[in-house]
Structures are given as structure tokens and as C-alpha cells.
Amino acid sequence: MNDHAHARRSRRRFAASSTTTLLALATLTALAVVPAPAMAAPPAADRFLKVYAPENESFAGARTLTQALADAETYDLITAKANTYKANPDAMRVVNPDLVVLVYMNGTFAQRTEGTMYPESWYARDAYGRKVTSKGYGNYLMNPLSPEWIQDRVNQCNTQLQATRYDGCMVDMLGTAPTMVSYVSSPPVNPQTGELWTAIDWQAATTYLALQIDTGTGGLVWGNGYGSATRYFGSRVGGTSKVLSDAVDGALSEIWIRSAK
């Protein structure tokens, strides 16, 4: 096995275990008042808990080399924009060989400036034939069943990996928020049924989209789409977001236990 393959496998082990680690953290927190049996100290070369930074949420721009190396020492998983660490990923891995850096991309929305950038058939529509946008950002919802849009997302991931030398892609918006009136301008219609998308069908479509990105690229693929614990473990109406695990190397639960009220 060459060094790259070994590193890829190591990163996949980290990806596969991260959700378990987070669940373990939640359990330990909940049971903190209960005396625990003595535990052997973890190896000095490894962290007991992996530390994650959503750097893609920052508007600070590109990190300097000094800042990048400090981030590498602090975190084990970082999601970032393409230009954030573009010049520094190799140096960061020297500081932290276990570091995984993922480039951010949107899986189901085109940006608010891209309302006419793609062929009309790629855009999601509501019951009146209007394009659907997100209320918070004004981004344009795309049809997750469109083979052309799926290929565009595969190409986007590959292009960004080649440009950044990151370890993989973090694909956002793979959950069911785009089916909710609280999130979008109007509910989208499933072109296969002619009816409004159900949460279960939407999750199945975005899981397939994520799988195509994962199999069509040379790096890791993580997805944001678990939602809350209610969504993950399943509900009568919304099904389960756990199916996303079958398509990606790791996934993010942004809401975690429950939505704030």
C-alpha cells in the first residue's frame, strides 16, 4: 500500500468513527455526575476526542501560513472555502498528519447570482412553475434528480480538489430543509410525481446525489444533512436521515439533539 492509499484509509477510519465519537461525547456529558471506572490514558500522539472547525462559516478570507499551521495543530477536521488554505494544506499535514481538510460546496442550491447560469430544466420549480429560492440566502434550488446537475456537482468537487489539494469535499444542503415552507420561498414539486416533494423522497434523491459525488471523485466526501436526532432516528412523516450514511464517508448533524425553539 502506498503512502497516499494508507493516508486515505486512515482518513476514512476517522470519517467513519466521527459520528460515534460525537455520540460518545454527548453520552459522557449526560452522565457526567455518575462516577466512572478508571480508564487508561489515551496514547499521547492521538486526541481522545477529534476536534472540528467549520471554517467555511468564516468571512475572514485566506489564512496566512502561521494561522494555517496553528489551525492544523488545534483541529483534526476542518471544512473550509477553496481559498482559505489553498497554499498551505501540505504544510498543515506536516504539523498534523491526521488532519482532514474538506472544501465546502453546496449540493442542491445554485448561488443567488446564478439564477440564469444553468439550463432552465435544472432548476427546481414550485406548483406555479416558479423557481424556488432559499429565504435566508436567496440561493436557487436545483432539481436533485437532474443527471446534468448531479454531474455538475461531481465536476465541481473534482475541480476544487485539484485546485486546493484538500482531502475531500463537504457537500452542504443534503437534508430536507428545501422541502419546508420555513426555509424556501415555496415548496418544490417532484418532477417525477407532479406533487410536492415528500421528505422521504427528497432525502432519497439527495442521498443518491451524494453517492454519485462520492464515487465520481478522488477524495473524501462528507455531507451536511442529518438534521436533528429526530430526523436521524426517523419519524412517521420525515423518514430517517440515517440513509445518508450509506452514501458518504462522514456526515454532519448541524442541529444535533433538537432544534432551538
Q: For residue 8, what pLDDT is reported?
A: 43
What is the mean pLDDT of the segment spanning 6-24? 41
**What pLDDT, in 10s, does the model give residues 203-228?**
999 999 999 999 999 899 999 999 88
Confidence of residue 16 (pLDDT cuts 50, 70, 90): very low
**What pLDDT, in 10s, does the model give residues 61-97?**
899 999 999 999 999 999 999 999 988 999 999 999 9
d(CA 178, CA 187): 7
d(CA 49, CA 19): 11
Q: For residue 255, what pLDDT is reported?
A: 83
Q: Out of 3.90.550, 3.20.20, 3.10.450, 1.10.1760, select the CATH number for domain 3-25+47-103+145-177+199-252.
A: 3.20.20
Pick the range with the lowest mean pLDDT from 1-5, 29-33, 47-51, 115-119. 29-33
